[in-house]
């Protein structure tokens, strides 16, 4: 992988480990010569990921909608800052620039971005690995919800397995490197459930 998109919060969260791991992820990706594509902000976990990578000489591309640039949250030291018109254009651009996705803790925006890219994978629009760095058990309840989707016939197990999850950065990157996209359709019919 040459570049990974990172989706994460523009806040730091309540636990110091969130910021620590975000910084560490940036550092690890830079050391492995994997560039980062992210939302372009200098705040919260977003800023921590960028700062971690930049501190180790990594390449960091920010993609920021123009309305957020006016709020003065754009990171000033990025390798490149791309300004787009809308949030949707931001996701498209981030997808175009990267070979995979990692989500860290975040709020509505993080989940919305992450699930759209995961849905595109499920629909076969790309074959990139989509992963969660499950810091401090943050996404444990999401794993439970996804299992509930499978148990109730709304998600195929093969699509459940598309989502790569680990609390360890190296393990997660290894899973991403070994990822092979499924070849079955997403639709569940009475015949296939």
pLDDT at 82: 95
Closest of 159, 160, 164 to residue 179, by C-alpha: 164
Give the DSSP letter string of 144-187. Answer: HHHHHHHHTTSS-HHHHTTEEEESSHHHHHHHHHT-----S-S-
- Tell me the pLDDT tens digit for each residue of 68-86: 776 668 889 999 999 999 9
- Tell me the pLDDT tens digit for each residue of 4-43: 999 999 999 999 999 999 999 999 999 999 999 999 999 9
pLDDT exceeds 70 at position 189? no
- Reported pTM: 0.93
pLDDT at 186: 64
- Tell me the pLDDT tens digit for each residue of 127-167: 999 999 999 999 999 999 999 999 999 999 999 999 999 99
Closest of 91, 112, 104, 117 to residue 39, by C-alpha: 91
Q: How confident is the model at residue 1 (pLDDT cuts 50, 70, 90)?
A: confident
CB atoms within 10 A of CB 66: 11
Instruction: State the SS3 of 88-143.
Output: HHHHHHHHHHCCCEEECCCCHHHHHHHHHHHHHHHCCCCCCCEEEECHHHCCHHHH
pLDDT at 25: 98
Give the domain 3-177 fold. Rossmann fold (3.40.50)
Integer Cα distance of 61 and 80 in angstroms = 5
Q: Which residues pair with 132 in a beta bridge?
A: 103, 165
Domain ranges of the chain: 3-177
């Amino acid at each position: 992988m040459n570049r990974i998109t990172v989706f994460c919060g523009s806040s730091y969260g309540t636990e110091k480990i969130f910021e620590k791991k975000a910084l560490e992820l940036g550092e690890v990706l830079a050391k492995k010569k994997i560039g980062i594509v992210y939302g372009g902000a200098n705040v919260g976990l977003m800023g921590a990921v960028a700062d971690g990578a930049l501190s180790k000489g990594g390449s960091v591309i920010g993609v920021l909608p123009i309305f957020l640039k006016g709020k003065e949250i754009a990171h000033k030291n990025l390798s490149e800052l791309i300004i787009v018109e809308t949030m949707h254009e931001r996701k498209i651009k981030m997808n175009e620039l990267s070979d995979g996705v990692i989500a860290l803790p975040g709020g509505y925006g993080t989940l919305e971005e992450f699930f759209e890219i995961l849905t595109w994978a499920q629909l076969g629009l790309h074959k990139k690995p989509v992963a969660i760095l499950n810091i401090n058990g943050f996404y444990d309840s999401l794993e439970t919800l996804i299992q509930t989707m499978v148990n109730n016939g709304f998600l195929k197990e093969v699509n459940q397995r598309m989502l790569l999850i680990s609390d360890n950065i190296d393990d997660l990157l290894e899973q991403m490197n070994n990822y092979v996209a499924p070849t079955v359709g997403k639709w569940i019919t009475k015949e296939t459930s």
